[in-house]
Amino acid sequence: MKKFAFSFLNIFLLTFMLLIFGPAEIFFANVTEFEFVYGEFAGYLAAAALGGALFAAGVLTVMPDGLYRAVMSVIFGLSVAGYLQVMFLNGQLDLLGLNPEGYQVSTGAAVGNLCIWLFIVAAVVALAFVRKKIWKGMVAYGAAFLLCIQAVALVSLLVTAREDAYQHKTQEWHLTGGDQYVVSEKENVILIILDYFSNQDLLEVQAKYPDVMNCLHDFTYYSNTDCNYYGTYPSIAHMLTGKGMDASIPVNEWFQNIWTDQDTLSFYEMLREKNYTVNLYTPDIHYLCGTNDPELLSACFSNMTDSVRNVDVFYKLLFKTMTKMSCYRMMPELAKNAFYTEGSEYADIISYEEDVLRHKNADFYRGLLDEGVRTDKNSNYFIIQHLLGTHEYSTTAECAEKPGSTLEDTARGCMVMVEEYLEQLKRVGAYDNSTIIVTSDHGDMVDSQVIFYIKEPDTHREVSAETNAPISLHELRPTVAAAAGLDSALFGQTIYDFAQDEQREREVWVRDSDVRYTIVQNYVEDRIGYANIYKIYRYTGDYGDLLRQIEQNQYDVAQMVDSFF
């Protein structure tokens, strides 16, 4: 019985870390990013941790002594190394699937990290055969100690958690997707945002698929477009309000300011006066309002509603995802990429019986084929379709879902989706009366220039036009205003105010973490933010000039008050 208890204690430490404490710490630190609640996975994973430890302990107790000590040593060594990895070696770990290329680490760092793991495991194994009594005490007391300190931390997390960590808000303001494929018979301004699609990525895609953008033959390609801000936050909010980033105030205060600014309210009020319905389709409203009440957006977007939604939970995916994220957090550098979890994976855990909003490329494409574009004869429409784009390499060249796809195939699939949308606009007679913009909210941290294609009403070409006019996403809102027949001068310069080969200074803000500056908290939870500064790169010319500024570390710094990520 003592041997069984000793075995169980050691094994339960590992399963507790992987299936109980790890998922809890991830969940409570990122609770606003998840739509599921703690009780929907905690009990099941706890039962798996306990049951797995009991079963494994029973198996271990019947092993020969030498093999028993070796296996027990490896298990304890992995637990200790995993604890050290989480506490001291992970650094600023991307837990939310923000990088389309997965987890990135240098070979040297990965090898050095692996050496630490191997040394810890080897030392425990060696002690088991050289000093058995000392080894037994170290494993027993060490496992008990690590269990206790993590159990205390777990209790603290449970007691201090936000209310929405435990229960769904079935009635709150949210964006509805019921009219995602509705356009006007009269006039449309349609903005298609393919997330994370840079000009440099386009060059790579065209090397494999030279005809990838042929469906945009009626469009003009602005090949020198600056995104202004790296990241969906703050870029999407900037695109829709025209308000620049203010890093000197908290994130939530900035959101409050930009959506209550009279200039923002006037823009959307003027659209309504022109009989425009404004529908926004984006999956995560926190990128627009933080933890402010989403009602903040109801004055601007027509498809904001506070109706009741019935929640469906995909439990199998929930358990798998939380386990993967916990393993990713605890594993050595070399193994992390095998457990890297894309952001859309945890987004798929929760669905709604109504108000379905399609963001993933394959989902949007499938909805097009199943439902089709339909028209409304009573209103003009300004439509913002924020789609996954190349933020994850998860789409085939035919626009089917495929985790672990490539940039080239994903981008090709995106354009299959866009082409189908354009063809359906033609079939319902809404293509010629539409201004259509295909762009992205941002590129990579270095490849930060983005694709930007625009088609004006009644424009037809055999081949798309191209200009290197130095524009940026800051000109998007005035351009939309001009397309909708508003006085665009009230909102700034449009893309048409800049000419081929013109020289103009622009700037792009890139978030970063720099130990020379004060470390800041995350904007919503009591944890350290992933970034603490913006590097502001200013350049005149094209992407080559921007790249030189980046390579030469020529930037100004804006210190953050708190970090969105």
**461-473 pLDDT, tens digit each:** 999 999 999 999 9
- The β-bridge partners of 190 are 383, 436
The arithmetic mean of pLDDT across residues 356-366, rounded, is 96
Write down the pLDDT at residue 515. Answer: 93
DSSP assignment string, 149-169: HHHHHHHHHHHH--GGGTS--
Write down the pLDDT at residue 309. Answer: 78
Cα end-to-end span (Å), the chain: 48
DSSP assignment string, 250-306: -HHHHHHHHHH-HHHHHHHHHHHHTTEEEEEE-S-THHHHTTS-GGGGTTT-TTEE-
Task: Check pLDDT > 80 for residue 171.
Answer: no
Residue 527: pLDDT band (50, 70, 90) is confident
Handedness of CA 15, 151, 95, 403 (dihedral sign): positive
> Is-contact 474 228, C-beta < 8 A?
yes
The residue ranking higher by pLDDT, 24 or 313, is 24
Write down the pLDDT at residue 32. Answer: 80
> Is-contact 546 539, C-beta < 8 A?
yes
Average pLDDT, the chain: 95
Tokens of 461: 């070409």
DSSP assignment string, 25-85: HHHHHTGGG-SS-GGGTHHHHHHHHHHHHHHHHHHHHTS-HHHHHHHHHHHHHHHHHHHHI
The arithmetic mean of pLDDT across residues 376-400, rounded, is 97
Task: Quote the CA–CA distance of 460 and 533 in Å, as a whole number.
Answer: 45
Cis peptide before 23 (omega within 30 of 0): no
pTM: 0.91
Tens of pLDDT along 27-65? 998 888 888 999 999 999 999 999 999 999 999 999 999
DSSP assignment string, 345-413: HHHTTEEESSS----SHHHHHHHHHHH--EEESS-EEEEEEEE-TTSSS-B-TTS-B-TT--HHHHHHH
> Is-contact 440 195, C-beta < 8 A?
yes
Relative to beta strand 350-352, strand 225-226 is unpaired
Q: Give which of 73, 43, 95, 65 is closest to 339, Cα–Cα.
A: 95
CA 328 to chain centre: 17
Task: Quote the CA–CA distance of 7 and 131 in Å, as a whole number.
Answer: 18
Residue 400, phi then psi, degrees to nearest 5? -100, 160
Task: Quote the CA–CA distance of 347 and 282 in Å, as a whole number.
Answer: 12
Tokens of 178: 């019921």
Write down the pLDDT at residue 33. Answer: 81
Tokens of 16: 């507790």
**DSSP code at position 88:** I
Task: Check pLDDT > 90 for residue 98.
Answer: no
Task: Check pLDDT > 80 for residue 135.
Answer: yes
Task: Quote the CA–CA distance of 17 and 9 in Å, as a whole number.
Answer: 12
Q: Give which of 187, 175, 373 is closest to 275, Cα–Cα.
A: 187
Contacts of 122 (CB under 8 A, 6+ apart): 77
Q: Which ranges of 161-249 would DSSP assign to H, the alpha helix?
A: 199-208, 232-241
Letter for the amino acid at 443?
G
Residue 353: pLDDT band (50, 70, 90) is low
Task: Quote the CA–CA distance of 325 and 318 in Å, as a whole number.
Answer: 11
CA distances from 557 to 511, 533, 560 (A): 10, 7, 9
- The β-bridge partners of 182 are 374
> Is-contact 170 310, C-beta < 8 A?
yes
The arithmetic mean of pLDDT across residues 2-26, rounded, is 96
Token pair 């028993």: residue? 68
Letter for the amino acid at 102?
G
Tens of pLDDT along 250-303? 999 999 999 999 999 999 999 999 999 999 999 999 999 999 999 999 999 999
Provide Rg for the chain, Cα atoms.
Answer: 26
